């Protein structure tokens, strides 16, 4: 497989659409569409920039999950606290801001930051980090009118029940499964 060229076909506020022309294993030229948070000038830039993060918060024997309306699927799903890095922000700045905006909690300590991974490798070069943190405070809503988020802490038993009946983002689902199984 060989990437031959890349052309930006749409420049949205948050997502840029690109058409990639490549040569398949049989030597035939094919097209593939992707989206990115980044403005890319060459194929070498694909997948190079970390654009956001997902935050895992445990408090005692409970896991923080957000139940939020996601426009792309037109429904409420369970998710992790997450967000995009703003220009000039460090990863810690982003964790602090997103945690407060979406939950009202204050960051007390970053326990572990995993190496960045691709969020949707089949259709995007978007790269995020998963960050395990300690936080304190009371849950409160500081979101914009464009977001619908309910944050809550759930016990292992509650999370296990949610996994049987509710829709999740894939990252939140694997974290929830690991939590309910006692792995984290």
pLDDT beneath 50: ranges in the chain: none
Q: How far apart are CA 172 and CA 182, in angstroms?
A: 15
SS3 at position 8: strand
Place of tokens 């914009």: 144
Q: How far apart are CA 131 and CA 85, in angstroms?
A: 13
Overall pTM surpassing 0.75 (yes/no): yes
**Residue 101 half-sphere exposure toward CB, CA atoms < 13 A:** 17
DSSP annotation of 124? B
Whether the CB-CB separation of 38 and 51 falls below 8 Å is answered with: yes
Residue 83 has a pLDDT of 94
Q: Could you tell me the residue ranges of all domains in the chain?
A: 2-45, 51-180
Residue 7 has a pLDDT of 96
Residue 172 has a pLDDT of 97
Domain 51-180 has what CATH class?
A: alpha beta
C-alpha to C-alpha distances, 6 to 3, 15, 151, nearest whole angstrom? 8, 16, 40
Q: How far apart are CA 24 and CA 40, in angstroms?
A: 23
CA 127 and chain centroid, separation: 8
Residue 143 has a pLDDT of 87
Residue 144 has a pLDDT of 87
């Amino acid at each position: 497989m060989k990437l031959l060229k890349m052309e930006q076909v749409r420049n949205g506020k948050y997502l840029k659409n690109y058409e990639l022309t490549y040569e398949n294993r049989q030597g035939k030229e094919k097209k593939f569409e992707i989206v990115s948070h980044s403005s890319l000038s060459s194929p070498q830039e694909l997948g190079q920039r970390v654009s956001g993060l997902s935050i895992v918060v445990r408090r005692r024997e409970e896991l923080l999950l957000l139940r939020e309306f996601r426009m792309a699927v037109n429904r409420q799903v369970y998710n992790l606290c997450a967000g995009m890095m703003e220009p000039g922000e460090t990863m810690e700045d982003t964790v602090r801001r997103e945690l407060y905006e979406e939950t009202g909690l204050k960051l007390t300590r970053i326990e572990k930051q995993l190496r960045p991974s691709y969020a949707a490798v089949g259709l995007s070069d978007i790269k995020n980090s998963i960050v395990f943190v300690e936080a304190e405070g009371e849950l409160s809503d500081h979101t914009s009118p464009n977001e619908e988020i309910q944050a809550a802490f759930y016990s292992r038993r509650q999370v296990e029940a949610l996994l049987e009946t509710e829709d999740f983002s894939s990252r939140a689902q694997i974290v929830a499964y690991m939590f309910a199984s006692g792995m984290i």
